[in-house]
Amino acid sequence: MRITLKTLQVPDKCAEPRVGCKMSGIMKIVTGEKRGCRKGPEAWFTGTVWLNEIVNPAAPSRLKANHVWFGPGSRTAWHTHPVGQTLHVLDGLGVVQLAGEPPQVIRPGDTVLIAPQERHWHGAAPGRTMAHIAMQEADEHGVDVVWFEHVTDEEYAAI
C-alpha cells in the first residue's frame, strides 16, 4: 500500500499579513498559570470539587470547557444545559444520572453526550475520585447551565 501526501498550498493573498487575511493572528496559547484553579461553589456541588478552566468564551465563540476533579462522594447538583453538555472522563470512576433514569457508571475514556434541557447530575463514585472535561455552549443569552437542588445523600446512596 502506498500513501501519497499532498502539500497544502497557502493562497498568495495570505502570504503577507494584511486586512482580510484570516490566517494570521488567530491562534493563542494560554498557559496554565494564567487560567488558574478554583474550588467548586457549594451552591453547585456537594463535597470537594476543583475547577480548572480550559476555555471561557470570547465572542463569537460560546464554548466553555473545564477540567473538573471530584473527591470521593463529591457531585454536582441537579442541573440542565440549554444547548447540551459533553463530558469526557479522564481518570477515576464516576456516576452520571438523568432524572427518572437509573445512575450509570462512567470510566476513563467514556464520553457522555447530554442533550439540551436534560436534567442530570454527575460526580465521583462512592469511595473514588473522578476527573472529567466538561464542555458546553452558552445559548443566545449567554446561559450555559441552570442549577437546581442538590442531589440528596439518599439519592446518592442509592447508586
Q: Could you read off the pLDDT of 31-87 as tens digits, one per residue?
A: 777 777 899 999 999 999 999 999 887 778 889 999 999 999 999 999 999 999 999
Is the pLDDT confidence value at 28 over 90? no
How many residues are present in the chain? 159
**Residue boundaries of the structural domains of the chain:** 36-157
What are the cell numbers at 112? Answer: 457522555
Q: Residue 143, Cβ neighbours under 10 Å: how many? A: 12
Residue-wise pLDDT for 115-132, tens only, equals 999 999 999 999 999 999
| pLDDT on residue 18 | 45
Report the alpha-carbon distance of residue 159 to residue 102 in Å, rounded.
Answer: 8
Q: Residue 73, Cβ neighbours under 10 Å: how many? A: 18
| pLDDT on residue 112 | 98
Supply the DSSP string of 94-154, one letter for each residue: EEEEETTS--EEE-TT-EEEE-TT--EEEEEPTT--EEEEEEEE--TTS---EE-PPPPHH
Superfamily (CATH) of domain 36-157? Jelly Rolls (2.60.120.10)
Under 8 Å between Cβ of 49 and 94:
no
Residue-wise pLDDT for 95-107, tens only, equals 999 999 999 999 9
